[in-house]
Amino acid sequence: MKVIFFGGTGSMGEKAICELCSFPEIKQITATARSRSKYEKLLAKVETGGEKLRYLELDLDKAEDIAGIIRGHDVVANTAGPFYRYEIKLAQAAADANADYVSICDDFDAAQQVFGLDAMVRERGLRALTGIGWTPGVSSLMARAGADSLDTVEKINVSWAGNSDDSVGAAVILHVLHIFNGLVPSFLKGTLKMVPAGSGKESLHFPGSIGGINVYNVGHPEPVTMPRYFPNIKEVTLKGGINEDLFNKLALFMAKLGLCKNETSRNMLSSLFRKTLPLMRKTVGPASDQSGIRVDITGSVNGEPCQLTYSAAGPMEILTSVPMAIAIRELARGNIKTTGVFAPEAPGILDPQLFFTELEQRGVKIIREEK
């Protein structure tokens, strides 16, 4: 299988490419990058299979015939953020080039756009898997595993805790500014509703060194995608927060001032935060160096109420990049036969236990609790 990778020189992309290079099913990986120097840094981190890598100089903001660039590859892998800018652009180009598509998209509006390609992707016999990262991704597989253990599912509540050390990249900062701004989706009482970003503050416990973290309603895809796959579900919520609550409050404050409404202002803020974030972290003091995920699934078994909680903690690059790499390997093995656009929680597409095992082999323990 030949893979063309967009965003491969970022922190999430680097880890995914290192994983892919180690898989015998992957024969070639074309890594796009703005400069040769970034590619050389990536190449230096690849321990096994570096001979599979090819370099292609590309600026996504300036490239015109992306489908032409993709042709000759079997799969498009995308970790290039922010996804509200690049997801639909690359998913459309992949379909035009008759290639499968896999991304770690975590912007709800971008995910909605990709589902608009479903008929075309299905007609061409292709597969487009959006959001197979940390959240969505690991969160989606936890929801699927829990739901399959129950007779009925009423609620799925997804929460994440982010390590700010993992947030120094411009794309991640832009994402945080985007999801804390305006109205965001939440599936409540059987209906998709838009609620204020930053509302619904809640303190939840996460595993590992994270502990108690304040989380808020933010704009992720799970409330948009999960109701597609869980019949009769009444509630799907998504809340998240940075481990140091000061950064959550700062993002909310910027949004209230109207500084996050357009991409130009978000780009300016991202540049500012990228320079000052290390200093702010020193001022705030040490916090957990892990990121976390927690999914609470409420339903019934044999007519009795039951609540399952899945959780995990670890480096964001492992939580995010390993699921993507494993999904591409599953494509290469011919284990994903369903065509069309789908999210990771779609029934019968991905085996959650396979992904959990792969994560545990890399030091991320999946915890399952039942009440």
> In whole numbers, what is the pLDDT of the chain averaged over residues?
90
For residues 34 and 42, give the distance between their C-alpha atoms in angstroms, rounded to a whole number: 13
Q: Which domains does the chain have, with CATH numbers?
A: 2-134+317-370 (3.40.50.720), 138-315 (3.30.360.10)
DSSP classification of residue 362: T
For residues 213 and 196, give the distance between their C-alpha atoms in angstroms, rounded to a whole number: 20
For residues 23 and 271, give the distance between their C-alpha atoms in angstroms, rounded to a whole number: 36
Using CB atoms within 10 Å of the CB of residue 103, give its burial: 0 to 12 exposed, 13 to 18 middle, 19+ buried.
buried
For residues 174 and 132, give the distance between their C-alpha atoms in angstroms, rounded to a whole number: 20
69 pLDDT band (50/70/90 cuts)?
Answer: very high
pLDDT at 120 over 70: yes
**Tens-place pLDDT, residues 244-298:** 666 666 666 666 666 556 666 666 665 666 666 666 556 655 566 789 999 999 9
Specify the pLDDT at position 173: 56
Contact 147, 299 (CB under 8 A): yes
Phi-psi sector, 46: left (phi>0), alpha (psi -120 to 50), beta? beta
160 pLDDT band (50/70/90 cuts)?
Answer: very high
The label of the residue with tokens 């109420």 reads 305
169 pLDDT band (50/70/90 cuts)?
Answer: very low
For residues 282 and 146, give the distance between their C-alpha atoms in angstroms, rounded to a whole number: 39
**Tens-place pLDDT, residues 177-230:** 667 778 999 999 999 999 999 999 999 999 999 999 999 999 999 999 999 999
Specify the pLDDT at position 159: 98
Whether pTM > 0.85 for this model: the answer is: yes
SS3 (DSSP) at 179: helix
- Both structure tokens of 312: 């995990």
